[in-house]
Amino acid sequence: MFNPKKAAAAAVVGACVLAVLPSHSASKQQLERGRYLVVRASMCIDCHSPMDAKGNPDPARAMQGAPTMFKPIVKVPAWAETAPALAGLVGYTDAQIVRALTAGIGPTGNPLRPPMPPFRFDKADAEAIAAYLRTLKPAPKR
């Protein structure tokens, strides 16, 4: 028989469980937002993916890391030669990625070097990007 007290208790327990679920249980909406930012809006994909034979970022190796494909014609100190592999976020915590994308600080506390743009995403967008990157196929071990 329906017991309103028990039902209320169950609802409270349910709400608590939802509240403490880890942030990396990504919703479909969050993943779509992350994909939109990475693939279409911010062109992360262009720098962080190896190129195919036609010089386009290879979708089969999206975000698996690549050498920087251009050099500055003016002197830029600390130019980075490589855009690191981020597919699957192997060896990264979500917090490291969120800090990189909201504050421009790398995983070891270093300011990110050019040509990595000094992004200032808000926390929700940075978390969506991290959630999306986790879903990508990691680069094969070298």
100 binds ligand HEC (CB under 6 A): yes
Cβ closest to ligand HEC, residue 33 vs residue 48: 48
By CB under 6 A, residue 47 contacts ligand HEC: yes
Residue type, 97: I
CB distance 69 to 43 below 8 Å: no
Q: Report which residue type is found at 11.
A: A
**C-beta of residue 136 within 8 angstroms of C-beta of residue 34:** no
Using the rule CB under 6 A, give the single segment among 8-16, 22-30, 54-62, 115-123 that binds ligand HEC.
115-123
Upper half-sphere CA count for residue 106 (Cβ side, 13 Å): 12
Instruction: Note whether 42 binds ligand HEC by CB under 6 A.
Output: yes
Whether the CB-CB separation of 129 and 121 falls below 8 Å is answered with yes
Interaction site with ligand HEC (CB under 6 A): 37-38, 42-44, 46-48, 68, 80, 83-84, 86, 97, 100-101, 106-107, 112-113, 115-117, 119, 129
